[in-house]
């Protein structure tokens, strides 16, 4: 496990930069990770996705699939790809301070 300074906070991360301790996450860290991933600003729509991911993870203990996000979260697949291009679940999970999705090797 490595440490990385993100937005002035020292956090524990995996080799790929995913936080290993979700209690270290905050909105400043999320904003900096988003910028690293090419998302200049997190809008309310981004935060809705992040909030859903965190809530669903807290309730189920695992990341939701894109299908579950659409069905339970009311977030369309098109919107996910518009908000988080080129891998919406991978990027959204990383910004949300959660682990890498198991379906993404």
Residue 84's pLDDT is 97
Low-confidence ranges of the chain (pLDDT < 50): 105
Kindly list the domain boundaries of the chain, sorted by start residue.
Answer: 2-95
Residue 102's pLDDT is 78
104 assigned to active site:
yes
Question: Which of 10, 71, 104, 105 is labelled catalytic?
Answer: 104
Inter-residue contact 54 to 64 (CB < 8 Å)? no
């Amino acid at each position: 496990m490595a440490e990385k300074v993100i937005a002035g906070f020292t956090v524990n991360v995996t080799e790929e930069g995913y936080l290993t301790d979700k209690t270290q996450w905050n909105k400043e860290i999320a904003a900096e990770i988003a910028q690293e991933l090419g998302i200049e600003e997190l809008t309310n729509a981004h935060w809705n996705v992040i909030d859903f991911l965190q809530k669903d993870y807290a309730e189920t203990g695992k990341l939701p699939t894109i299908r579950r996000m659409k069905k339970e979260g009311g977030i369309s697949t098109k919107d996910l790809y518009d908000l988080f291009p080129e891998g919406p679940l991978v990027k959204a999970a990383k910004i949300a301070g959660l682990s890498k999705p198991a379906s993404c090797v």
